Amino acid sequence: MFGEHASFIIPSYIISFVAIVGMTIYIIAQHKLRKAELKRLEESGIKRRADNG
Amino acid sequence: MTTETIKPSIWAFANPTRFNTFASKAIPVLAIITFALLAVGLWMSFNAPEDYQQGYTVLIMFIHVPAAWLAMMSYAVMSASAIGTIVWRHPLANVSLRSAAPLGAMFTILALATGSLWGKPMWGTWWEWDARMTSVLVLLIIYLGLIALSKAFDEPSEAALPLAVMTLTGAPLLPIIKFSVDWWNTLHQPASVSRFDRPAMSAEFLYPLLIMALAYTAIFFTLHMMAMRNEILSRRIRTMKMQAARKQSSKGAA
């Protein structure tokens, strides 16, 4: 499949896939970490000024 | 419709809390659109015929060209955000700028890597210091510099203005990249899609390329919105931690 240039085509798609999926996973993981941190802070009684009214 | 009715809705949306509420609803929709475009784009790409000159390596074009376009579009979004920071001093503009930089760097790396993998079988070289490749490499260096600058300040709001000014300083590189193939003699061919007359590419290659470009654009906007949401959360966490520390120190003083 892809003829004599398969060794150039397949790595191109693998690199693109790894970079985009990797970036997506990183951003989702960061979101989960920040949500957990925010929850921990709120549970310890710290509130944002906006929440204090 | 009067400006009075438009203005409040725009500025209401530009509030970080409202943005997060909007993003929570918009991200799943954007993700579905992205997956659909990617599925159609990849199906069309792998069903495109072999090019009479390039053979199957034309398949690299379907991911290389959109990556290169998005490398430039990300910088255009950052430049628009920089203007928003300088003119309106809006915090969301700075959030947008900071969140787009890593994505722009990723697309630039992808453009360079896939370009290199396409160049070797077609031109016989992995790299050539021609105007297009060199200017894209400079774009990557600018992205990395801006990411480093954004991390050099403890307080994100202090970094906003220098970051915006530095971003706009790099903006003239965009037309240089775009027209480098016309202004200098390079290995790259002149523009074959974005031309004033009809594209110099047959439909069987043009349509998959355009769908893949739309898919990459959707990837950018989805990830950009997700990254902006993270940046807002991290600023909120920072504010809360500072508030807690201040409370602690005032208790200690009493």
Q: What does the pLDDT look like over B47-81, one tens digit per residue?
A: 998 888 888 899 999 999 999 999 999 999 999 99
Contact between residue B216 and residue B70 where contact means Cβ atoms under 8 Å apart: yes
Q: With b meaning 16 or more CB within 10 Å and e meaning fewer, what string describes B51-65?
A: eeebbbbbbbbbbbb
- When scoring A8, A28, A33, A52 by the number of chain B Cβ atoms within 10 A, the one with the most, hence best to mutate, is A8
Token output for B244:
């807690």
Question: Residue B198: which pLDDT band, with cuts at 50, 70 and 90?
Answer: low
Query: Is pLDDT above 50 for B100?
Result: yes
Tell me if B152 is assigned to some domain: yes
From A39, which residue of chain B is nearest by alpha-carbon distance? B237
pLDDT, residue B16, reads 82
Q: With b meaning 16 or more CB within 10 Å and e meaning fewer, what string describes B125-155?
A: eeebebbbbbbbeebbebbeebbebbeeeee
pLDDT, residue B173, reads 94
Tell me if B77 is assigned to some domain: yes
pLDDT, residue A53, reads 41
pLDDT, residue B6, reads 47
Tell me if B184 is assigned to some domain: yes
pLDDT tens profile A3-20 = 888 999 999 999 999 999
pLDDT, residue B1, reads 40
Tell me if B91 is assigned to some domain: yes
Tell me if B49 is assigned to some domain: no
Q: Which domain holds residue B72?
A: 56-214
Question: Residue B3: which pLDDT band, with cuts at 50, 70 and 90?
Answer: very low
Tell me if B82 is assigned to some domain: yes
CB contact under 8 A, B223 and A27: yes
Restricting to A residues 13-52, those with a Cβ less than 8 Å away from any Cβ of B are 13, 15-16, 19-20, 23-24, 27-28, 30-31, 34-35, 37-38, 41, 44, 46-50
Token output for B146:
């801006």
How many structural domains does chain B have? 1
Give the DSSP per-residue string, B43-89.
HHHHTSPPBTTTBTTHHHHHHHHHHHHHHHHHHHHHHHHHHHHHHH-
Contact partners, residue B12, CB within 8 Å, separation at least 6: B18
Tell me if B111 is assigned to some domain: yes
pLDDT > 90 in chain A, percent? 66
Tell me if B88 is assigned to some domain: yes
User: Which residue, chain included where needed, has tokens 């009479």?
Assistant: B52
